A and B are shown apart, each in its own frame.
Chain A
Amino acid sequence: MKFRSLLHRVILSHSFMLALAALIMTVALNLFLHQVFISLHAATLGKQAEALALFLADEDTTSQKRLKISASLEDLYSEEYGRYFYAVLDDKGQPVLSSLSNGKPIFNSLNAYTKGSLETSAGAVDVEGVNVPIERGGQIYTIQLGENLSHRDVFFDDVMKVFSVVIFWVVIPLILIVLGFDLLIFREALAPLRDASREAEEISERNLAGRISRQRMPAEVVPLVDAANRAFERLETAYRAQQTFSSDAAHELRTPLAVLRIQIENLTDTSQRAKLLPSVDHMAHMIEQLLHLAEVETLSVAADDVADLRDVALSVVALLAPLAIDRHREIELQGAEKSIFVHGRRELLFRALRNLVENALRYAPERSAVIIRLAQDGTVSVLDTGPGIPDDHREQIFNRFWRHDRNKSGSSGLGLAIVKRIADLHDAKIEIADNLPHGTIASLHLKPIEQSSAS
């Protein structure tokens, strides 16, 4: 059998155990009560039999001794009343006296306490009773005394019935109370485990330092928690090593690249120089993008980080507009009349927007304008009139190293991966749409912040 939860298992097995205990308890109590009843009954009837013996009168006849019951008792033992029956047997077991009209013995057995079934004028009757030996005039007789327990005047069975009901009404609520406590205790005991799951849930590549706390943890679970925490520790170390490797590698490449670049710059052959410099710059750009990607992988944005989108856009324009002019393209900024405060980190948003604008400039046709449009709702869009991005590329463009045209100079295919990561850090949506009649609109939907709380 499979259990869904520990709580289930405990409650189920506890219910089962408690029901079993209740059953055993009821049965045992009933048996015990019955035993008590029998001995009480035997004692009462024994006394009654002895009393009966006192009322037996010797009636002398010539040939034989005769026993006779006192007339005052006859009503009590009459078949009409039907509650008590008696018989007196001689030492050979023959009835000498009987309250039954047919003169038969009450019981066939001579056990001290026994049961029997009688034929009376009022019908068949089940009796329980005693055999009591007595001595009278040198003769041993046996007095048989039986009582019909189903008689309306017998209240003992009613007591038994009431008793069973009481047991039922005491035991069942007790079981329920115990189960209720079980539930509470286990819920309480499992609470630290629920907290632990929450803590484990929060551990991600963005929150590597998180651990499961051992406080309040049941001693039995602490080893598991410790083991899990050690595993997280190892993963964190491995992850960080992997992270720093790519950024270390990129860093290590920068100095040799600087040497290469300056060597090329110092070449006297200008045609060689013009050919080689773009290659070195492409490589430098690639390393730069790799480093930026590695860096944004490790950064996070705090809940109270605020940036002015207008300020970000102005910085991007200041950086790229002169380059755009050199390449016969224009940059235009729209919606930047006043500050737009958004949730975010300025330098990260700067990088994201810079990449979007660089893309737009790269694909925009000569003499066209790339528009950066800001909206009060925290959206920044970059519009170009280039070839546009086909629908079936719109997912892939965010993948690392993905380029539509691998030969396009100066392109590394990392720009949009960086943008995507920065957008994720800000819980911002990136949207790629068609510009009309052709071109791309790339938008970043950031969370605006009310002016009052931003100041």
Chain B
Amino acid sequence: MRILLVEDNEELAMELRKSLVSLGHLTSWASTIEEARKELASTQFEAAILDLGLPDGDGYELVREVRAAKSDLPLLILTARSTVQDRVTGLKSGADDYLTKPFAMEELVARLDVIVRRLNPPSEIILSLNNVQFNATHRQLLVDSRTVSLPVREMDLLESLLRRKGRVVPKEAIEERLFEEGRELGSNAIEVYVHRLRKHLAECGAQIEIHTIRGVGYCLKEQE
């Protein structure tokens, strides 16, 4: 993917470019707003990473210009500013995400992926974690490349968890996904499905684990 990196700190820009290039991304570097404008005018990018404090102005200027030109180029703001107010202005400005320095490269790449994918959803949605792969388009589950079949509700449950793997999925969100609205549910309906899903996953050797977060919901993680 072609990425525009707008950052005035040369050292940071060089290291960042090195990392991005090693991940297979073509990266152009601009150190001022002016340079960034030229790059944007001459090249078609798939994403841009923007610093806010630039020598010739504020990164938000660029965000506004890009959005004013009716472009939906995914924009990730990378900044040293982290106050509550900064965060609010950052997300309201029209940028897609906001990451503060210092950051982990892994985090940057993950967020970049999310905002790029949001724009061009792939034709087939494949969710995977460890040795589990779920094709959400064809509703097909593979564990260690072997097809596994699950009851519909358990499949839906697994999909909800996989879509937010590593994050907390509230019980209400699962209820909404699994049952039509307004239906009376037993107080432990979800627990029952989670219990069954855990059993099925263990039986087929899936190396993933559903953690219970009591009073909130569940979190799907790789097994250690």
Interchain CB contact under 8 A, B213 and A265: no
Interchain CB contact under 8 A, A255 and B103: no
B81 at the interface (CB under 8 A from A): yes
Contact flag A254-B80 (CB < 8 Å), given A321-B168, A332-B214: yes
Q: Nearest chain A CB to B206's CB is how many angstroms away?
A: 17
Chain A residues whose C-beta falls within 8 Å of the C-beta of B170 in the assembled complex: 314
B101: nearest chain-A partner, CB-CB = A258
Contact flag A262-B105 (CB < 8 Å), given A314-B216, A325-B211, A330-B214: yes
Q: Nearest chain A CB to B19's CB is how many angstroms away?
A: 6
A434 at the interface (CB under 8 A from B): no
Pick the residue among A252, A258, A266, A333 that contacts B215 (CB under 8 A).
A333
**Alpha-carbon distance between A442 and B11 when the two chains are bound, in angstroms:** 44
B166 at the interface (CB under 8 A from A): yes
Interchain CB contact under 8 A, A322 and B216: no
Interchain CB contact under 8 A, B215 and A334: yes
Contact flag A332-B103 (CB < 8 Å), given A265-B19, A266-B15: no
Interchain CB contact under 8 A, B168 and A258: no
Pick the residue among B16, B82, B102 that contacts A291 (CB under 8 A).
B82
Contact flag A330-B213 (CB < 8 Å), given A260-B102, A318-B168: yes
Pick the residue among A266, A295, A321 that contacts B19 (CB under 8 A).
A266
Give chain A's interface secondary structure class.
Answer: helix
Chain B residues whose C-beta falls within 8 Å of the C-beta of A330 in the assembled complex: 211, 213-214
Contact flag A288-B82 (CB < 8 Å), given A262-B12, A334-B215: yes
Chain A CB count within 10 A is highest, among B19, B101, B103, B211, for: B101
Q: How many residues of A contact B (CB 8 A)?
A: 35
Interchain CB contact under 8 A, A261 and B221: no
B147 at the interface (CB under 8 A from A): no
B25 at the interface (CB under 8 A from A): no
Chain B residues whose C-beta falls within 8 Å of the C-beta of A291 in the assembled complex: 82-83
Interchain CB contact under 8 A, B101 and A254: yes
A124 at the interface (CB under 8 A from B): no
Contact flag A325-B15 (CB < 8 Å), given A262-B105, A265-B104, A330-B213: no
**Alpha-carbon distance between A317 and B217 when the two chains are bound, in angstroms:** 10
Chain A residues whose C-beta falls within 8 Å of the C-beta of B167 in the assembled complex: 318, 322
Interchain CB contact under 8 A, A322 and B166: yes
Q: Nearest chain B CB to A421's CB is how many angstroms away?
A: 14
Pick the residue among B83, B84, B213 that contacts A332 (CB under 8 A).
B213
**Alpha-carbon distance between A262 and B219 when the two chains are bound, in angstroms:** 29
Over the window 159-192 of chain B, the binary record of Cβ atoms lying under 8 Å from chain A Cβ atoms (1 yes, 0 no) is 0000000111010000000000000000000000
Q: Nearest chain A CB to B209's CB is how many angstroms away?
A: 9
A347 at the interface (CB under 8 A from B): yes
Chain B residues whose C-beta falls within 8 Å of the C-beta of A455 in the assembled complex: none
Chain B residues whose C-beta falls within 8 Å of the C-beta of A255 in the assembled complex: 9, 12, 80, 101
Chain B residues whose C-beta falls within 8 Å of the C-beta of A262 in the assembled complex: 12, 15-16, 19, 102, 105
Pick the residue among A261, A314, A332, A348 that contacts B102 (CB under 8 A).
A261
B196 at the interface (CB under 8 A from A): no
**Alpha-carbon distance between A347 and B87 when the two chains are bound, in angstroms:** 11
Chain A residues whose C-beta falls within 8 Å of the C-beta of B83 in the assembled complex: 291, 295
B140 at the interface (CB under 8 A from A): no
Over the window 249-288 of chain A, the binary record of Cβ atoms lying under 8 Å from chain B Cβ atoms (1 yes, 0 no) is 0011011011111110110000000000000100010001
Over the window 203-231 of chain A, the binary record of Cβ atoms lying under 8 Å from chain B Cβ atoms (1 yes, 0 no) is 00000000000000000000000000000
B18 at the interface (CB under 8 A from A): yes
A11 at the interface (CB under 8 A from B): no
Over the window 1-42 of chain B, the binary record of Cβ atoms lying under 8 Å from chain A Cβ atoms (1 yes, 0 no) is 000000001011001101100000000000000000000000
**Alpha-carbon distance between A252 and B9 when the two chains are bound, in angstroms:** 12
Binding site for A on B (CB under 8 A): 9, 11-12, 15-16, 18-19, 80-84, 100-105, 166-168, 170, 211, 213-216, 219, 221
21 intermolecular pairs with C-beta atoms under 8 Å apart:
A258-B101, A261-B102, A262-B12, A262-B15, A262-B102, A265-B104, A266-B18, A291-B83, A299-B84, A314-B170, A317-B168, A317-B216, A321-B216, A321-B219, A322-B166, A322-B168, A325-B221, A333-B215, A336-B215, A348-B84, A369-B214
